[in-house]
Amino acid sequence: MPRPKKPRFVSAYPAIAAFVPQGVTVTGEIFMSVEELESIRLSDFEHLDQEMAANMMEVSRHTYGRILANARSIVAEALVTGKALKIGGGAYEFRGMGGRRRRRGGRGHGRR
């Protein structure tokens, strides 16, 4: 039995959970986890280096690099092949106000 995944920390659940190409026939769906989206946000939108971003997600730099590489591969596949990109799920926790953490799991809608 595999070891359970250690949760990664994200700032917020994405406001938009799906991107669908317009004007073409959608050829399928591809899924991205919330922590993969967070890695793209930190590196490509916030322009943080991998070490700082890894510290924010509380993972090793090597693990962060793997998450980021996989996320970029998913985005590239969705853009090149015309697939719908759906975001959700993964092993993550939110960083709440004042340093409090809200634990979420499964498809991003765990117990409240």
pLDDT digit string, tens, across residues 23-36: 878 889 999 999 99
Q: In what order do the strands lie in the sheet with 8-10?
A: 8-10, 92-95, 101-104
User: What pLDDT is attached to residue 24?
Assistant: 79
User: What pLDDT is attached to residue 30?
Assistant: 96
User: What pLDDT is attached to residue 1?
Assistant: 82
Question: What's this model's pTM, rounded to 2 decimal places?
Answer: 0.78
User: Would you list the DSSP string of 39-63?
Assistant: HHIIIIIS---HHHHHHHHTS-HHH
Ranges of the chain whose pLDDT falls below 50: 97-104, 110-112
Q: How many CB atoms lie within 10 A of CB 33?
A: 22
User: What pLDDT is attached to residue 97?
Assistant: 41
User: What pLDDT is attached to residue 98?
Assistant: 42
Q: Are 88 and 107 in contact (CB under 8 A)?
A: yes
